[in-house]
Protein backbone atom coordinates (compact mmCIF):
# COMPACT_ATOMS: atom_id res chain seq x y z
CA UNK A 1 0.00 0.00 0.00
CA UNK A 2 1.19 3.51 -0.85
CA UNK A 3 1.52 6.15 1.84
CA UNK A 4 -1.77 7.81 2.81
CA UNK A 5 -1.46 11.60 3.09
CA UNK A 6 -3.71 13.69 5.33
CA UNK A 7 -3.27 17.37 4.47
CA UNK A 8 -6.72 18.79 5.26
CA UNK A 9 -6.90 18.10 8.98
CA UNK A 10 -9.37 20.19 11.02
CA UNK A 11 -7.66 22.22 13.73
CA UNK A 12 -9.65 24.36 16.13
CA UNK A 13 -7.92 25.89 19.14
CA UNK A 14 -10.04 25.76 22.28
CA UNK A 15 -9.11 29.08 23.88
CA UNK A 16 -10.31 28.03 27.35
CA UNK A 17 -8.20 24.88 27.16
CA UNK A 18 -5.24 26.92 25.96
CA UNK A 19 -5.49 29.38 28.86
CA UNK A 20 -5.90 26.53 31.32
CA UNK A 21 -2.86 24.72 29.92
CA UNK A 22 -0.79 27.89 30.17
CA UNK A 23 -2.21 28.63 33.66
CA UNK A 24 -3.39 32.09 32.62
CA UNK A 25 -6.39 33.68 34.32
CA UNK A 26 -9.35 34.17 31.94
CA UNK A 27 -10.43 37.77 31.43
CA UNK A 28 -7.01 39.25 32.16
CA UNK A 29 -5.14 41.48 29.71
CA UNK A 30 -2.63 38.67 29.27
CA UNK A 31 -5.41 36.25 28.43
CA UNK A 32 -6.65 38.52 25.65
CA UNK A 33 -3.12 38.76 24.24
CA UNK A 34 -2.80 34.98 24.21
CA UNK A 35 -6.17 34.66 22.50
CA UNK A 36 -4.97 37.00 19.76
CA UNK A 37 -1.92 34.80 19.26
CA UNK A 38 -4.13 31.71 19.09
CA UNK A 39 -6.37 33.27 16.44
CA UNK A 40 -3.36 34.27 14.35
CA UNK A 41 -1.99 30.74 14.62
CA UNK A 42 -5.27 29.11 13.68
CA UNK A 43 -5.55 31.15 10.50
CA UNK A 44 -2.32 29.69 9.11
CA UNK A 45 -2.09 26.29 10.83
CA UNK A 46 -2.02 23.27 8.51
CA UNK A 47 -1.18 20.17 10.54
CA UNK A 48 -0.47 17.16 8.35
CA UNK A 49 0.08 13.43 8.67
CA UNK A 50 1.20 10.47 6.59
CA UNK A 51 0.93 6.74 7.22
CA UNK A 52 1.47 3.45 5.43
CA UNK A 53 0.02 0.07 6.36
CA UNK A 54 2.62 -2.68 6.09
CA UNK A 55 2.82 -6.42 6.75
CA UNK A 56 4.89 -7.89 9.56
CA UNK A 57 7.12 -10.26 7.60
CA UNK A 58 9.34 -11.77 10.30
CA UNK A 59 9.75 -11.80 14.07
CA UNK A 60 13.14 -12.46 15.65
CA UNK A 61 14.22 -12.42 19.27
CA UNK A 62 15.45 -8.83 19.06
CA UNK A 63 14.19 -7.60 15.70
CA UNK A 64 11.22 -7.53 13.36
CA UNK A 65 10.98 -7.19 9.60
CA UNK A 66 8.21 -4.80 8.58
CA UNK A 67 7.76 -4.50 4.83
CA UNK A 68 11.37 -4.54 3.61
CA UNK A 69 12.92 -2.91 6.69
CA UNK A 70 14.57 -4.65 9.63
CA UNK A 71 13.81 -2.85 12.90
CA UNK A 72 15.99 -3.68 15.89
CA UNK A 73 13.97 -3.89 19.09
CA UNK A 74 13.22 -6.67 21.56
CA UNK A 75 10.16 -4.79 22.82
CA UNK A 76 8.86 -4.44 19.28
CA UNK A 77 9.36 -8.17 18.68
CA UNK A 78 7.15 -8.88 21.70
CA UNK A 79 4.53 -6.28 20.76
CA UNK A 80 4.28 -7.36 17.12
CA UNK A 81 4.35 -11.12 17.77
CA UNK A 82 0.61 -11.57 17.18
CA UNK A 83 -0.23 -8.84 14.66
CA UNK A 84 -0.20 -9.39 10.88
CA UNK A 85 0.19 -5.72 9.94
CA UNK A 86 1.16 -2.36 11.41
CA UNK A 87 1.09 1.27 10.29
CA UNK A 88 4.19 3.44 10.04
CA UNK A 89 3.34 7.10 10.51
CA UNK A 90 4.53 10.68 10.81
CA UNK A 91 2.62 13.80 11.84
CA UNK A 92 3.60 17.45 12.06
CA UNK A 93 2.34 20.84 13.17
CA UNK A 94 3.19 22.02 9.64
CA UNK A 95 5.85 24.30 8.21
CA UNK A 96 3.48 27.27 8.28
CA UNK A 97 2.98 27.13 12.04
CA UNK A 98 6.66 26.39 12.64
CA UNK A 99 7.70 29.47 10.65
CA UNK A 100 5.11 31.63 12.42
CA UNK A 101 6.29 30.47 15.85
CA UNK A 102 9.90 31.40 15.04
CA UNK A 103 8.80 35.01 14.49
CA UNK A 104 6.94 35.33 17.81
CA UNK A 105 8.66 37.59 20.33
CA UNK A 106 8.53 37.48 24.12
CA UNK A 107 9.21 34.58 26.48
CA UNK A 108 5.59 33.88 27.37
CA UNK A 109 4.45 34.39 23.78
CA UNK A 110 7.05 31.87 22.55
CA UNK A 111 5.92 29.40 25.19
CA UNK A 112 2.35 29.88 24.00
CA UNK A 113 3.37 29.35 20.37
CA UNK A 114 5.17 26.16 21.39
CA UNK A 115 2.05 24.92 23.18
CA UNK A 116 -0.09 25.65 20.12
CA UNK A 117 2.27 23.66 17.90
CA UNK A 118 1.99 20.72 20.29
CA UNK A 119 -1.80 20.94 20.06
CA UNK A 120 -1.55 20.94 16.26
CA UNK A 121 0.61 17.79 16.22
CA UNK A 122 -1.81 16.10 18.59
CA UNK A 123 -4.74 17.01 16.33
CA UNK A 124 -2.95 15.57 13.31
CA UNK A 125 -2.10 12.35 15.10
CA UNK A 126 -5.59 11.89 16.53
CA UNK A 127 -7.20 12.50 13.11
CA UNK A 128 -4.89 9.99 11.45
CA UNK A 129 -5.42 7.39 14.17
CA UNK A 130 -9.19 7.59 13.76
CA UNK A 131 -8.84 7.22 9.98
CA UNK A 132 -6.68 4.13 10.45
CA UNK A 133 -9.03 2.26 12.77
CA UNK A 134 -11.20 0.75 9.99
CA UNK A 135 -8.06 -0.86 8.52
CA UNK A 136 -7.54 -2.96 11.65
CA UNK A 137 -9.63 -5.52 13.51
CA UNK A 138 -10.98 -3.27 16.25
CA UNK A 139 -8.47 -3.59 19.09
CA UNK A 140 -7.00 -0.32 20.44
CA UNK A 141 -4.04 1.09 18.54
CA UNK A 142 -0.85 1.59 20.53
CA UNK A 143 2.39 3.02 19.18
CA UNK A 144 6.17 2.94 19.48
CA UNK A 145 8.43 5.86 18.55
CA UNK A 146 12.14 5.71 17.66
CA UNK A 147 14.25 7.07 20.47
CA UNK A 148 11.54 6.85 23.14
CA UNK A 149 13.25 3.77 24.55
CA UNK A 150 16.91 2.73 24.34
CA UNK A 151 15.64 -0.56 22.95
CA UNK A 152 14.57 1.20 19.71
CA UNK A 153 17.19 3.91 19.18
CA UNK A 154 16.72 7.19 17.38
CA UNK A 155 18.93 6.31 14.34
CA UNK A 156 16.20 3.85 13.31
CA UNK A 157 14.25 6.94 12.34
CA UNK A 158 15.85 6.47 8.92
CA UNK A 159 14.34 3.00 8.62
CA UNK A 160 10.95 4.36 9.60
CA UNK A 161 11.12 7.12 6.99
CA UNK A 162 12.00 4.55 4.33
CA UNK A 163 8.90 2.59 5.35
CA UNK A 164 6.86 5.73 4.67
CA UNK A 165 8.19 5.71 1.11
CA UNK A 166 8.40 9.49 0.72
CA UNK A 167 5.30 10.17 2.81
CA UNK A 168 7.19 12.20 5.41
CA UNK A 169 8.67 14.47 2.75
CA UNK A 170 5.23 15.00 1.21
CA UNK A 171 3.97 16.51 4.47
CA UNK A 172 7.09 18.65 4.89
CA UNK A 173 9.10 16.61 7.42
CA UNK A 174 12.84 16.14 7.00
CA UNK A 175 15.54 14.50 9.12
CA UNK A 176 18.64 16.24 10.44
CA UNK A 177 22.03 14.51 10.60
CA UNK A 178 21.26 13.65 14.23
CA UNK A 179 17.93 12.03 13.19
CA UNK A 180 15.75 14.77 14.66
CA UNK A 181 12.71 15.87 12.68
CA UNK A 182 12.06 19.27 11.17
CA UNK A 183 9.67 20.90 11.96
CA UNK A 184 10.68 20.09 15.51
CA UNK A 185 7.06 19.71 16.59
CA UNK A 186 6.59 16.50 14.65
CA UNK A 187 6.17 12.91 15.71
CA UNK A 188 6.68 9.53 14.09
CA UNK A 189 6.37 5.87 14.93
CA UNK A 190 4.48 2.67 14.28
CA UNK A 191 0.90 1.90 15.27
CA UNK A 192 -0.01 -1.66 16.18
CA UNK A 193 -3.02 -3.36 17.70
CA UNK A 194 -2.74 -4.05 21.42
CA UNK A 195 -5.40 -5.35 23.79
CA UNK A 196 -3.33 -4.10 26.75
CA UNK A 197 -3.20 -0.40 25.78
CA UNK A 198 0.61 -0.56 25.65
CA UNK A 199 2.55 2.69 26.15
CA UNK A 200 6.31 3.26 25.95
CA UNK A 201 6.01 5.16 29.23
CA UNK A 202 5.29 1.84 30.98
CA UNK A 203 8.87 0.77 30.20
CA UNK A 204 10.60 4.12 30.71
CA UNK A 205 12.47 4.49 34.01
CA UNK A 206 13.13 8.22 33.62
CA UNK A 207 11.59 9.97 36.61
CA UNK A 208 9.73 13.29 36.42
CA UNK A 209 9.33 13.12 32.63
CA UNK A 210 6.99 15.96 31.54
CA UNK A 211 5.64 13.85 28.68
CA UNK A 212 4.78 10.79 30.79
CA UNK A 213 1.41 9.27 29.85
CA UNK A 214 1.48 6.16 32.02
CA UNK A 215 3.35 5.01 35.14
CA UNK A 216 6.43 2.78 34.94
CA UNK A 217 5.51 -0.90 35.34
CA UNK A 218 8.38 -3.08 36.60
CA UNK A 219 6.59 -6.39 35.88
CA UNK A 220 5.92 -5.42 32.28
CA UNK A 221 9.53 -4.20 31.97
CA UNK A 222 10.83 -7.61 33.04
CA UNK A 223 8.44 -9.39 30.69
CA UNK A 224 9.30 -7.25 27.67
CA UNK A 225 13.03 -7.53 28.23
CA UNK A 226 12.79 -11.25 28.94
CA UNK A 227 14.49 -11.14 32.33
CA UNK A 228 17.71 -9.45 31.26
CA UNK A 229 18.20 -11.18 27.91
CA UNK A 230 18.98 -7.68 26.61
CA UNK A 231 21.77 -5.65 28.21
CA UNK A 232 20.27 -2.64 30.00
Q: Residue 127 sits in a domain of what CATH number?
A: 3.40.109.40
User: What is the pLDDT confidence band of residue 213, given thresholds at 50, 70 and 90?
Assistant: low
Closest by CA to 220, choosing from 195, 196, 202, is 202
pTM, whole model, 2 decimals?
0.84
pLDDT at 149: 86
CB atoms within 10 A of CB 36: 11
Are 21 and 38 a contacting pair, CB within 8 Å? no
**Is 231 a member of any domain?**
no
Share the mean pLDDT of the chain. Answer: 87
The range of the structural domain enclosing residue 177 comes to 4-196
**β partners of residue 55:** 85
The answer, yes or no, to whether residue 209 has pLDDT greater than 50, is no
**Is 201 a member of any domain?**
no
Residue 16, classified by CB atoms within 10 Å of its CB into exposed (0-12), middle (13-18) or buried (19+), is: exposed
**Is 32 a member of any domain?**
yes
Are 48 and 94 a contacting pair, CB within 8 Å? yes
**Is 104 a member of any domain?**
yes
**Is 187 a member of any domain?**
yes
- Structurally, the chain folds into a number of domains equal to 1
Are 213 and 199 a contacting pair, CB within 8 Å? yes
**Is 131 a member of any domain?**
yes
Mean per-residue pLDDT for 5-17? 94
Indicate the pairing of strand 63-66 with strand 69-72: antiparallel
**Is 222 a member of any domain?**
no
**Is 204 a member of any domain?**
no
Amino acid sequence: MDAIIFDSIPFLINEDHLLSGLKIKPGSNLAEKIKELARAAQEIAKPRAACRILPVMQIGEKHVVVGKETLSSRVMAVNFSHVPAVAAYAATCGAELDEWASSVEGMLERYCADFIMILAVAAAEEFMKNELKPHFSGNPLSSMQPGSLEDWPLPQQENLFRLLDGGAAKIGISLTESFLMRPLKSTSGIYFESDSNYSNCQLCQRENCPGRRAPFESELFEKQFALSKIPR
